[in-house]
Structure 1
Amino acid sequence: MALEPVDIDRCLVDPATYESTILRIYTKRNERGMGFHEVSDGVTYFDAATDRKALSRAIASSIADGTYRPQPVDLWFLETNGKRRTAHMPGFVDHIVGSALFKLLSTNARCYGLPGVYSYLPGLTNVGAMRAFAAYIRAHRQRVGPAGGPLYVLQSDFEKYGDNLPVGQDAALWRILREVASLGTDSGEISSVAWDLITILVRPVVRGEDGTEFTRLNGVAMGTPLVPVLGNLAVVPMDRAISAIDGVFYARYNDDFIIAHSDLAAIHEADTRVDALVAELGVKRKLSKELRTALSGRGRPCTVDPAYRGRDRIDCLGMSVTSAGTVMLGAHRLRRFVARIAARIDGSVPTLSQMPVRERAHHLVAATNVMLDVTSPFAVAGLSALLDATTDRGSLKDLDYRIARKIAQAATGIPGVRGFRQLPPEVLYREMGLVSLVALRNAR
């Protein structure tokens, strides 16, 4: 069924718009153990969800009669990995209205057209983007053969996308956002009341720690509900310009984007189109992080443009895609997965120290099999994602080897691969029944 745009004017005064949003907010908070945290004096998320019909009617009524006024958002700072990032905390009712608007605007944005965009949309993920890229690679290989020419790949992103995005009165974002918001209305133009509400939620009044209030000319209010849809819409003209190149592959996830083509001239054309648009859109390419690759099984660099270095895989969006068109998780995610298993194995070793080596190995194999059982509540974190995303059996075979090596090390007390002298992989898998990730993936 084709997606139809929604009338945002009508939806904003319909209580049903907010009921599902309130329930969704409560569900997310409850999953984090915050279901009974207060949203205002004496009122919890649970109370709001229980009385969501009355709250929804009150919100819809206040918007209909023009008495609804969004409150300033509180500015705070988030420390992650040594970086200090700004964040904004809206009031609970403003969070409800903003979240409802995010859903409405996202629906209209999909009708408006988001070519190549995979971020913050139902059913679209970073994994989906990389699967599409893998399919593009396989189609190329089928055309040219395993020894044929390379694919030329350009990976780039934007410099501080959220912090630098213009939101002043003349910003290009407003024209795009207004066109999206107007889809579905009877008149073809969103009402001034609804548009004013959207603009103040996109660019809210910010209240600093000292009580000072201001509005931004650059930078979206990170932490408020409409930020994801703004990231999707801000460079749509660039998305369209690149996607219009015949035979190109293009995918964007918020500020990260990847372009691929078998013809180097087409990539150069894409480069030109990006450079022609970024200034008027108010964004800037992060040249220090750009990667240009001549992708092939032989990994040879481009002889025409030395900027395109030879590689046999592309790492992007937390995934790795090979020149054969297979997909696996990125190396850092694979290391983290193995580290979780290794930590649990190490935790089991002290309780088994008095057992013979083979008996100790039997217990470690049994414990590992529980970790590799997706139906078990004790399955290792990331197992389902690994099996769902990975089509590269070679990477799974390598993980099987590393897990078996860890068990052999823990059971024998011998570091490195020398533990395999007493407990070869064949013994662990065939005699003791160690679960294989390759077999699990083949069974899905």
Structure 2
Amino acid sequence: MVEPVDVERCLRDPKTYEDMILRIFTTRRQRGLAFAEADHGVTYFDTVTGRRSLSQAIARSIAEGRYQPQPVGLWFLETKGKRRAAHMPSFTDHVVGAALYQLLTRNARCYGLPGVYSYLPGVTNVSAMRALAAFVRDHRQRVGPHGPPLYVLQSDFEKYGDTLPIGPHAPLWPLVRTVAGLGTPGGEVSPTTWNLITALARPVIEDEDGALFTRLCGLTMGTPIVPVLSNLAVSQMDRAILDFDGIFYARYNDDFVLAHPDLDAIQAADARIDSLMSDIGVKRKITKECRTALSGSGMPCVTDAAYRGGNRIDCLGLSVSHAGTVTVGPHRLRRFMNRIATRIDGAAASLEDLTVHQRAEYLVATTNVMLDLTSSFAVPGLAPLLETTTDRGVLKDLDFRIARKIVQAATRQPGVRGFRQVRPRMLYEHMGLTSLVCTRNRQP
């Protein structure tokens, strides 16, 4: 069991920062940035070679109450048509903030983060969907394969990171203060330590014109402490949802999913969430909400039209079927298959002078390299696909589509007509085409 740590004592310990500097350097080195500038002409290599003296200086200044975080730089990141604000702290602030993130996360786990799967050691989005799949399987065992549906609600928050209240009187701060004081002898951190925490969590921002300001709403994305704040900010909602007996709940940052076999119970939980939004200071994103009556028949709910019929739940990049099996999401399956098809087409272009069977043999050999986990030329996405997928039907479908693509490229015939010349049995038994189903079955 994880025990809380004394945040004040750890912040005054040079070993805390020495470990963090080494971890930051290791990450940068893996990205080929070992000799990139960390801050004011100092490289990351310089910081790791002088980490002992730097750590002692940081710890001493914090112990004496002299440490003052510097304003963070503001810049904008444009991805997928969206423009997001990002922030760049100084290297020492990054080290202290990252260390504080580790300490607060440990204490937050002791305090309790029920249903939360984001930014925590040992859990991921895959963990959340596997938990949902287990809940679905338990439901199916109780009611049978043709029993009543499981009601599932998927939702998230409207611009969670940009609108979360972080002003001096925001509801987030009492919770952060409680978490920070869990491991201290008196149960509360000193005013000096608390001021340091708030200065790193809500830093002064310097824009490109040199103007200084502090946010009242919106997390300072890019600073190390943000993940633990986003995990704690709606913990009141997390606990309120799990007060309902027999409910499943999982949240990954701003995305959350609920499931319950009783329609009245999930409707009550839905109303409870709405009643808490104003207290927390966030809003639900209505346009992205999805309500599903999950069953093998895919029939909608007859008493609540909002719960549309479905035989799978797509959430957090994965899919959970009505039987409780897991696979990667449809968009990831399409991307995986498109990559294989593109490589097969590229290889087929150089095989014009060969016979149909010779072309098929070469394409099978090429495809086997793509489907070899140990190969440097394995198609991207293969390892996550095999690791997360328990739905053998999905893997069988991929096997068929890969075989069909090979035959189409070898025979230059559309659809499945090429199987008249090159049969599936010939591909697998005589030419040795790798099967994703067999590969998955051999894994533990």
Do the structures match in fold with TM over 0.5?
yes
**2:80 alignment partner in structure 1:** 81
**Aligned residue-pair number:** 443
Match of 2:85, SS state, is strand
Partner letter of residue 336 of structure 2?
Answer: F
In structure 2, what is the Cα distance between the partners aligned to 1:100 and 1:315? 35
Partner letter of residue 69 of structure 1?
Answer: Q
In structure 2, what is the Cα distance between the partners aligned to 1:383 and 1:7? 43
**1:219 alignment partner in structure 2:** 218
Write the deviation string for residues 86-132 of structure 1: whole angstroms up to 9, x where unpaired. Answer: 11111111111111111111100000000000000011111110000
Q: CA shift at 1:41, angstroms?
A: 3.4
In structure 2, what is the Cα distance between the partners aligned to 1:184 and 1:3? 12
**1:343 alignment partner in structure 2:** 342
Q: Report which stretch shifted further, 13-22 or 174-183.
A: 13-22
Q: CA shift at 1:84, angstroms?
A: 0.9
Match of 1:86, SS state, is strand
Write the deviation string for residues 254-278 of structure 1: whole angstroms up to 9, x where unpaired. Answer: 0000011001111011112111211
**1:379 alignment partner in structure 2:** 378
In structure 1, what is the Cα distance between the partners aligned to 2:152 and 2:327? 18
**1:402 alignment partner in structure 2:** 401
In structure 2, what is the Cα distance between the partners aligned to 1:30 and 1:347? 34
Partner letter of residue 110 of structure 1?
Answer: R
**1:56 alignment partner in structure 2:** 55
Q: Provide the TM-score with structure 2 as the length reference.
A: 0.98
Asked if 1:272 is matched to 2:283, the reply is no
Asked if 1:318 is matched to 2:317, the reply is yes
Match of 1:351, SS state, is coil
Write the deviation string for residues 345-371 of structure 1: whole angstroms up to 9, x where unpaired. Answer: 222223323222212221221121111
**1:114 alignment partner in structure 2:** 113
Q: Report which stretch shifted further, 223-232 or 423-432.
A: 423-432
**1:45 alignment partner in structure 2:** 44
Q: Provide the TM-score with structure 1 as the length reference.
A: 0.98
Write the deviation string for residues 354-393 of structure 1: whole angstroms up to 9, x where unpaired. Answer: 2222122212211211111112222111111111100000
Match of 2:114, SS state, is coil
Match of 1:320, SS state, is strand
**2:157 alignment partner in structure 1:** 158
Q: How does 1:275-290 map to 2 (within 5 A)?
A: 275-290=274-289
Q: CA shift at 1:414, angstroms?
A: 2.5
In structure 1, what is the Cα distance between the partners aligned to 2:40 and 2:77? 25
Q: CA shift at 1:400, angstroms?
A: 0.9
In structure 1, what is the Cα distance between the partners aligned to 2:131 and 2:82? 33
Give me the CA root mean square deviation. 1.1
Query: Matched residues, percent identical?
Result: 66
Partner letter of residue 75 of structure 1?
Answer: L
**2:139 alignment partner in structure 1:** 140
What stretches of structure 1 of length at least 5 have no aligned partner?
none
Cα gap change, 1:55/1:343 in structure 2, threshold over 3 Å: closer, same or farther? Answer: farther
**1:93 alignment partner in structure 2:** 92
**2:27 alignment partner in structure 1:** 28
What stretches of structure 2 of length at least 5 have no aligned partner?
none
**2:425 alignment partner in structure 1:** 426
In structure 2, what is the Cα distance between the partners aligned to 1:220 and 1:183? 23
**2:391 alignment partner in structure 1:** 392
In structure 2, what is the Cα distance between the partners aligned to 1:50 and 1:386? 40
Q: CA shift at 1:42, angstroms?
A: 3.3
Asked if 1:292 is matched to 2:291, the reply is yes
In structure 2, what is the Cα distance between the partners aligned to 1:317 and 1:80? 19
Match of 1:334, SS state, is helix
In structure 1, what is the Cα distance between the partners aligned to 2:371 and 2:385? 11
Write the deviation string for residues 169-206 of structure 1: whole angstroms up to 9, x where unpaired. Answer: 11111011111111100110011111111101111111
In structure 2, what is the Cα distance between the partners aligned to 1:419 and 1:36? 55
Match of 1:27, SS state, is helix
Q: Report which stretch shifted further, 390-399 or 39-48.
A: 39-48
Match of 2:439, SS state, is helix
Match of 1:258, SS state, is strand
Match of 2:350, SS state, is helix
**1:202 alignment partner in structure 2:** 201
Partner letter of residue 189 of structure 2?
Answer: I
Asked if 1:104 is matched to 2:103, the reply is yes
Cα gap change, 1:24/1:353 in structure 2, threshold over 3 Å: closer, same or farther? Answer: farther
**2:367 alignment partner in structure 1:** 368
Match of 2:147, SS state, is coil
